[in-house]
Amino acid sequence: MIFMNDIATHRPTSGATAEELAVQLGDVRSRSRRLTEDLSTDQLMGPMLPIVNPILWEIGHVGWFHEFWTLRHVHRNAPLIERADLLWNSSTVPHATRWDLDLPDRESIFAFLSDVLDRQRDRLSGIVETPARYFYELSIRHEDMHVEALAYTRQTHGYAQPQDLGGAFIRDDGAFPGDAEVPGGSWRLGSTPADGFVFDNEKWAHDIEVAAFRIAKAPVTNAEFAAFVDDEGYQRREFWSDDGWAWREREGAERPKYWLPKREMIWMWRRYDRVEVLSPHAPVVFVNWYEADAWCRWAKRRLPTEAEWEVAAIGEAANGGTRLAAKKRRWPWGDEAPRRAHANLDFTVDGPLDVASCSAGDSAFGCRQMIGNVWEWTASDFVPFPGFSRDPYEDYSEPWFNSRKVLRGGSWATSTRIGRPSYRNFFTPERNDVIAGFRTCVP
């Protein structure tokens, strides 16, 4: 067991107040419920798949994580369910067994969630120490991640679109073509204690050199990706890496995961449980790293490194535009907290907006939608930064180094707490069920 004083070296210089934490707990729990409560008992379990959890297990795990790190770890309370660790500790409960566990029924699990939340709110009034706040913030962000996972799990299973989650789905802003010129220079990659709560894989900021580059102002669109499909890109070996081609042959992939065969010159896709026309100017989404890499080879482009992505998102120019400035913006548009005009985060809209949307969110170099709408694959492997040391949640990053690719930027289902420019998401390169697209650089 790691106690509160063990995280002294991990403490941010500031954190949320007890009142703010209480609001955040209610906010994220409301989203979890809206994504799950309408599902039938059968849907809450779903078929066994290696890429998603049974939803009933997942929401129990969310409640367990909150209880373990706050009520038990911080407040030294006894477990609310005696066998909870045997059911919901993701570090010790193998994925494939989660469909066969003797789980409590849905009413009991939802009651468990409510009980944990009520007890957290009762105890927050006494929270003043930064270490204690850390574990509340960790638990809230952990649930944020599972909210997004619940959203794409509903897409994976073809369940109905969740109700009362996200604004009107409007896509009519069009394309945003062209490249941005980004100068080279020294860059501090990573986070600092002044950034507030951060995850261990963001620690700590370190200086690197970045060469000048050109990066697309917007992510690759459905129309741009469709040109690759129409050019038989999935059948042409020369565009695929060895691992990518092996994946394509194994899966029999001929187009992005949810695209349907073209009919009367129109591309359609399955969105939740409905079939819709693909918006040509929305970013392509639910494509994996192999597909992004193959498109780049076809288009004679490349994926940005995560450092290049971060520079394009929150960097500024100096010396008349010839060098990178030392300053890093908090968000691509500046220091103002994200609003609807800036980014499609927090289910502003439950789906991908056209790439020309959110013009108020442009970076200093004119790149749009660096935050929100779709996660963006980068060329970078998920590796530790120099001097990495794991945080109390030991299995968050370290077990996955050198086996995944880094994604940046967040999606429409990502919380503002997670969708920060410095946040490093990571998935294996074959994952095409997550809300991911990509933007590209000139070679």
Residue 287: the pLDDT is 98
| pLDDT in the model for residue 171 | 67
Q: What's the confidence (pLDDT) of residue 168?
A: 67
Query: What is the 8-class DSSP label of residue 399?
Result: G
What is the model's pLDDT at position 71? 96
What is residue 170's predicted lDDT score, i.e. its pLDDT?
A: 66
Q: Where are the domains of the chain?
A: 4-157, 166-443
C-alpha 143/C-alpha 31 separation (Å) is 10
* Residues 47, 52: Cα–Cα separation, whole Å: 9
Domain formed by 166-443, architecture: Alpha-Beta Complex (3.90)
CA torsion angle 239 245 250 256 (round to 10):
-30
Beta bridge partners of residue 216, listed in sequence order: 179
List the chain residues with pLDDT less than 70: 1-14, 128, 168-171
The answer to whether the beta carbons of residues 375 and 313 sit under 8 Å apart is no
* Interacting residues of 230 by C-beta distance below 8 A, sequence separation 6+: none
**Token pair 């933007």: residue:** 439
Q: Give the span between the Cα atoms of 373 and 282, in whole angstroms.
A: 9
The enclosing H or E element of 208 equals strand 206-210
Cα dist. 270→224, 225, 258, 297 in Å?
Answer: 19, 17, 5, 27
Which class for 139: exposed (0-12), middle (13-18), buried (19 or more C-beta within 10 A)?
A: buried
Residues 379-410 have pLDDT tens digits of 999 999 999 999 999 999 999 999 999 999 99
CATH of segment(s) 4-157: 1.20.120.450
| pTM for the whole structure | 0.95
Amino acid at 165: L
Residue 164: the pLDDT is 85
Structure-token pair, residue 212:
């000048």
pLDDT score recorded for residue 10: 43
Burial (0-12, 13-18, 19+ Cβ within 10 Å), 176: buried
CA distance 176 to 170: 17
Q: Contact 157/53 with Cβ under 8 angstroms?
A: no
**Per-residue DSSP letter, 221:** B
Identify which of 297, 299, 302, 301 has the alpha carbon closest to the alpha carbon of residue 237: 297
Q: Is the peptide bond before 204 cis (omega within 30 degrees of 0)?
A: yes
Q: Is 166-443 the same fold as 4-157?
A: no
CB within 8 Å of 17: residues ≥ 6 apart: none
